[in-house]
């Protein structure tokens, strides 16, 4: 079903012809922690060439990142090491523009793609996600990372028919500042809890759910591309998959129990149930078959 809906995708959202927002209405916030210096400089240099406001939050990391940021005309804020959430909270605290983009320190996006994302902020759109691609290279890590991104795109294209997306990817997403600012600075975001217990969960999925639950649209811009580097090896890729899978299950059961799952459209509901229950059904089936073979 996803394949059919994806390949017969007819986006309903068009660019905002009224020109409500421009590039001057945007600030880019980049948290940095132990990033490859050459990759980081490429990211900062590209933003500087676009004449975009940007600030970098050093998550317990100062030089050489601060020197690079100052060289290219950006603002650098050093904070004690506390993780990505705290870095983003410190960043958005200083944002004065109507729009904010959260960008990973290893992710590059072209100016025209940024402008296209801005153009989609019409009606009740609260957040826009870029289409993530992996920097091309002749390696196994590139192929498995790119395959996974294209699989996510397939699902997102299907879900987007209802003008929603499951998650605004943390690598590159844009938001209305006034909608998310207080939430990103709140304890609920910085120290997330589920059923009263502290949890380790994806910040991007939590932020996406917040936008949707506030009555705004979170949409996927398939025509705006952002490029990021692949995981350094299969071990890092597996860890990444475990983090994402854990987030999916946590939010799936939360939405299931509080009823919000069934208020996000039929395609969203179908994908959430299908993608989360299929592995469980598969495991139960395998155990059932193995038990029968021993009887």
Helix (H, G, I), strand (E, B) or coil at 163: coil
pLDDT above 50 for 167: yes
Across the range 211-230, mean pLDDT stands at 91
Which pair of structure tokens corresponds to residue 55? 């600030």
pLDDT above 80 for 109: yes
Q: What is the pLDDT of residue 189?
A: 93
Phi, psi of 124 (to 5 degrees): -105, 30
User: Lowest-pLDDT range, 43-52, 101-110, 136-145, 185-194?
Assistant: 136-145
Q: Which helix (H) or strand (E) holds 17?
A: none
Q: What is the pLDDT of residue 291?
A: 53
pLDDT band at 149 (very low <50, low <70, confident <90, very high): confident
Q: What is the pLDDT of residue 278?
A: 59
Among 216, 200, 58, residue whose Cα is nearest residue 127: 216
| Higher local confidence (pLDDT), 292 or 273 | 273
Q: What is the pLDDT of residue 161?
A: 61
The CATH number of domain 2-293, selected from 3.30.420.40, 3.90.850.10, 3.90.550.10, 3.10.129.10: 3.90.550.10
pLDDT above 60 for 3: no
Q: What is the pLDDT of residue 272?
A: 66
pLDDT above 80 for 249: no
Mean pLDDT, all residues of the chain: 82
Q: What is the pLDDT of residue 17?
A: 45
Helix (H, G, I), strand (E, B) or coil at 133: strand
Q: What is the pLDDT of residue 205?
A: 85
pLDDT band at 18 (very low <50, low <70, confident <90, very high): very low
| Higher local confidence (pLDDT), 63 or 256 | 63
Q: Report d(CA 244, CA 240) in Å as an integer.
A: 6
Percent of the chain at pLDDT > 90 equals: 47
pTM of the model as a whole: 0.81
Domain boundaries, the chain: 2-293
Across the range 250-276, mean pLDDT stands at 67
Across the range 188-215, mean pLDDT stands at 83
Q: What is the pLDDT of residue 30?
A: 98
User: Lowest-pLDDT range, 150-164, 176-190, 220-234?
Assistant: 150-164
pLDDT above 60 for 289: no
Q: Do residues 169 and 244 make contact, with C-beta atoms less than 8 angstroms apart?
A: no
The DSSP annotation for 176-245 comes to: EHHHHHHHHTSHHHHS-EETTEE----HHHHHHHHHHHTT-EEEEEEEEEEEEPPPSSHHHHHHHHHHHH
Across the range 244-254, mean pLDDT stands at 71
pLDDT tens digits for range 74-84: 999 999 999 99
Q: Report d(CA 172, CA 129) in Å as an integer.
A: 7
Among 269, 272, 107, 127, residue whose Cα is nearest residue 208: 127
Q: What is the pLDDT of residue 238?
A: 79
Q: What is the pLDDT of residue 60?
A: 94
> In Å, what is the CA distance from 213 to each residue of 208, 249, 259, 272?
9, 18, 11, 16
Q: What is the pLDDT of residue 98?
A: 97
């Amino acid at each position: 079903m996803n394949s059919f809906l994806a390949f017969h995708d007819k986006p309903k959202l068009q660019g905002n012809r009224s020109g409500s927002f421009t590039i001057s209405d945007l600030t880019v916030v980049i948290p940095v922690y132990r990033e490859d210096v050459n990759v980081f400089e490429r990211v900062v240099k590209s933003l500087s060439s676009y004449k975009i406001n940007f600030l970098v939050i050093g998550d317990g990391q100062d030089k050489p990142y601060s020197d690079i940021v100052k060289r290219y005309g950006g603002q650098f804020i050093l904070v004690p090491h506390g993780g990505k959430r705290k870095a983003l909270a410190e960043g958005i605290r200083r944002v004065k523009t109507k729009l904010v983009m959260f960008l990973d320190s290893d992710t590059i996006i072209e100016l025209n793609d940024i402008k296209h994302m801005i153009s989609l902020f019409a009606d009740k759109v609260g957040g826009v996600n870029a289409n993530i691609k992996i920097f091309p290279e002749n390696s196994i890590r590139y192929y498995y990372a790119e395959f996974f991104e294209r699989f996510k795109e397939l699902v997102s294209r299907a879900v987007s028919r209802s003008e929603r997306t499951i998650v605004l990817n943390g690598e590159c997403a844009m938001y209305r500042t006034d909608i998310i600012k207080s939430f990103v600075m709140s304890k609920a975001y910085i120290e997330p809890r589920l059923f009263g217990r502290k949890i380790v969960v994806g910040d991007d999925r939590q932020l996406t759910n917040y936008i949707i639950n506030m009555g705004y649209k979170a949409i996927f811009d398939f025509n705006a591309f952002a490029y990021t580097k692949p995981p350094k090896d299969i071990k890092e890729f597996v860890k990444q998959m475990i983090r994402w899978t854990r987030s999916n299950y946590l939010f799936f059961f939360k939405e299931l129990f509080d009823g919000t799952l069934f208020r996000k459209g039929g395609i969203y509901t179908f994908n959430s149930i299908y993608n989360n229950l299929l592995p469980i059904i598969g495991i139960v089936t395998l155990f059932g078959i193995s038990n029968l073979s021993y009887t």
